Structure 1
Amino acid sequence: MTFRFLLMMSRHGKVRVAKWFESFTQAEKQRIIRDMMNLVLLRDPNWSNVVDYYNAVAGQRAASSKTNGVQPTVSDAVRLHTTGQYRDRLVYRRYAALYIILCIDAESLATGEANELLALDMIHLLVECLDRYFGNVCELDLIFNFPNVYQIIDDMFMAGEFQESSRDVILHSIRTSDSMAGQERDEKHRA
């Protein structure tokens, strides 16, 4: 199962953490974030935490590669949408005022290797790691300690693939990194 991106957004639509596993332009990132605000944040809390997402960015890239670099037309985008191609799937969970969103790519869905329940467990594992590391994690921890948050995410995911499932291994890695950084700080103060 491959992921396109992981977003952590407040319920007001402010992006707190964005991890992109594919290369997107700044305009594409802004479009995806706007789509997430419309698709996820406005959903009824009683609805499912899994929603199909027509990824227009991926559809436009594929259409332009099929047309040898010619800009795709609106009819190409409609055709891709109606044929069900490039339909990613969003899996998200809400924790207090924070939404965590994972996007499963269309290829994983087409090959049958996508597992939405596993993606929900990955989100929960991420929250457990953050909670154990920060001690009752809140939005301010994500904002002011973003390098540590990204390190935890990088320990869990590599190139859009789930890498590590052990909470203890992930926490040991970041605590080791923190202790090494503390030793460097102490050595600089002594000099």
Structure 2
Amino acid sequence: MMQFMLLFSRQGKLRLQKWYVAYQDKVKKKITRELVTTILARKPKMCAFLEYKDLKIVYKRYASLYFCCAIEQTDNELLCLEIIHRFVELLDKYFGSVVGLLESG
């Protein structure tokens, strides 16, 4: 099950967040800060999956935006990448170039 989804820019600015599991605000901020810092520090050729506490983090970069999902250890990472890709396609279809829209906002 997906725990949360984060969208953030290359500069580390959070653009969208959706939490499917209840966390305290303080914990959400800590998780967000740690994941944004970790993902932005990774090189482009590195694997898009990483371990974070008891979760798997799956992320994908589109232009200058990162789409990041946290899933349970037993979930399929490739399926999560496909979910991210479909979400980007959906946003593009609805808004027109969503990556450009979210970058400028």
Does the alignment reach a TM-score above 0.5?
yes
Aligned to 1:154: none
Task: Find the aligned partners of 2:2 and 2:27 in 1 and give their Cα distance.
Answer: 16
Aligned to 1:102: 69
Aligned to 2:3: 4
Aligned to 2:57: 90
Aligned to 2:99: 138
Deviation at 1:88, TM superposition (A): 0.7
Conserved 8 A contact 1:5-1:22: yes
Task: Find the aligned partners of 1:141 and 1:41 in 2 and give their Cα distance.
Answer: 17
2:80 to 106, 119, 138: 119
- Structure (1 or 2) with the greater strand fraction: 2
Runs of 4+ in 1 over 2 A off after TM superposition: 138-144
The 3 A distance-change label for structure 1 pair 118 and 134 is same
Question: Helix, strand or coil: the match of 1:138?
Answer: helix
Task: Find the aligned partners of 1:138 and 1:46 in 2 and give their Cα distance.
Answer: 21
Residue deviations 1:149-182 (CA, integer Å, cap 9, x gap): xxxxxxxxxxxxxxxxxxxxxxxxxxxxxxxxxx
Provide the TM-score with structure 2 as the length reference. 0.92
- Structure (1 or 2) with the greater helix fraction: 1
Aligned to 1:42: 41
Aligned to 1:20: 19
Unaligned runs of 5+ in 2: none
Provide the TM-score with structure 1 as the length reference. 0.52
Conserved 8 A contact 2:12-2:37: no
Task: Find the aligned partners of 1:103 and 1:13 in 2 and give their Cα distance.
Answer: 17
Conserved 8 A contact 1:17-1:142: no
Task: Find the aligned partners of 2:6 and 2:85 in 1 and give their Cα distance.
Answer: 14
The size of the alignment, in residue pairs, is: 105
CA RMSD between the two structures: 1.6
> Which residue type is aligned with residue 44 of structure 2?
P
